Amino acid sequence: MTNLRNEIAELIGISLPWEVSNLTYEVLESVQEDGYTRQLISYVSDGDKVSAFLLLPDKLEHNPAILINHQHNREHHLGKSEVCGLAGNPLQAFGPALARKGFVVLAPDSICFEERRKDPTVEGFDFWQHFHEMTYRVITGDFLMKRVLTDAMNGISLLAGLPFVDTGRIGTLGHSYGGNTVLFLSALDERISFACASGSACTYEYRMKHGTGIEMASVIPNFHGKYDIDDLVKLTAPRKLLLVSSDEDKYSMDAPEIVKTAGKQYEAFGVPQNLEHKRYFGGHGLSEERYRDIIDWVAKNC
């Protein structure tokens, strides 16, 4: 599996193992909340300035930590703020719930979202910046996924460098676009010990056969035909992974088949229980039930 991991990383332009350590950040604002402190921070990721919220539980000693990747939802003006319950859908506010359970939470803006937009006054769907970020890279032999994963891996490095974080209990979580990031990140970054990808387990094969859209960061030339999403799940083995899907969600429609295929790798490691799949009734958006189940699963599997 090491060869497969290196092949996929090389295709995207990522060099493994990821060697960035002791990533420093600047605290711009600090707000005391119920059970945790929310810090607005800024740091540099491979030349790009990243704005993020760092949530610190009141008690800091050998804490688990989690990188939460926000959704897309055609709302580029939302990113870290939605994850932290300051705007948008409250069912995306995983950050405060997990911080109160003792997790150190890092919630960064992905490129083209919230404070990482060229024009922060645009509300809603800022299609053209996102489109240009993808196409300009492709024509120069670079990929948007490389930037997304570079930022995510640097986020893991930031968490791992905090003296109060238990580096053996660092995970990642995301829904939809955030879930896509989780699938690639957990496959390539072996520092991650647990992961949850919601509304995102759908193969390229299924999407192309059924006319389902492919998010811009997932447009990776020459990826399909050699690899697919089930390969990413295989590479996450034997670490703990929860896939969340629903029966009317076109973005996670063939999750049962992915689990069936990738589950063999977990069986080969002797830990079939480490790959879990929760299938719900309903569409793509999170329900109260799914939101609670995700938080409970993360708390039990860190």
Any idea what the CATH number is for the domain that residue 21 is in?
3.40.50.1820
Tokens in use for 236?
Answer: 């996450």
pLDDT bucket at 294, cuts 50 / 70 / 90: very high
Confirm if 169 and 65 have CB atoms less than 8 A apart: yes
Comparing 125 with 257, which gets the higher pLDDT? Answer: 257
Give the number of other Cβ atoms within 10 Å of residue 56's Cβ. Answer: 19
Edge-to-edge order in the sheet of strand 275-280: 26-33, 36-45, 48-57, 104-108, 63-69, 165-175, 194-198, 240-246, 275-280
At 121 the pLDDT is 77
Give the number of other Cβ atoms within 10 Å of residue 98's Cβ. Answer: 26
At 64 the pLDDT is 98
User: Does the structure show a pLDDT above 90 at 284?
Assistant: yes
pLDDT bucket at 17, cuts 50 / 70 / 90: confident
Q: Which of 236, 234, 231 is nearest to 265 (CA)?
A: 234
CA neighbours closer than 13 Å in the CB half-sphere of residue 169 = 17
| DSSP assigned state of 25 | -
In angstroms, rounded to a whole number, what is the distance separating the alpha carbons of residues 282 and 287? Answer: 8
Tokens in use for 245?
Answer: 């899907």
Tokens in use for 64?
Answer: 């688990």
Query: Which amino acid, residue 233?
Result: V
Of the listed ranges 18-27, 97-106, 159-168, the least confidently predicted one is 18-27
| DSSP assigned state of 250 | G
User: Does the structure show a pLDDT above 80 at 145?
Assistant: yes
In angstroms, rounded to a whole number, what is the distance separating the alpha carbons of residues 258 and 260? Answer: 5
Q: For the chain, how many structural domains are there in total? A: 1
Query: Which amino acid, residue 302?
Result: C
User: Does the structure show a pLDDT above 80 at 78?
Assistant: yes
At 1 the pLDDT is 80
The pair phi, psi for residue 86, each rounded to 5°, is -95, -10
pTM of the model: 0.97
User: What residue numbers bound the domain in which 281 lies?
Assistant: 2-301
Beta-strand pair 104-108/48-57: antiparallel
Q: What is the mean pLDDT of the chain?
A: 96
User: Does the structure show a pLDDT above 90 at 118?
Assistant: no
pLDDT bucket at 22, cuts 50 / 70 / 90: confident
Q: Average of pLDDT values for 89-104?
A: 98
pLDDT bucket at 19, cuts 50 / 70 / 90: confident
User: Does the structure show a pLDDT above 90 at 43?
Assistant: yes
User: Does the structure show a pLDDT above 80 at 123?
Assistant: no
Q: What is the largest CA-CA distance in the chain?
A: 52
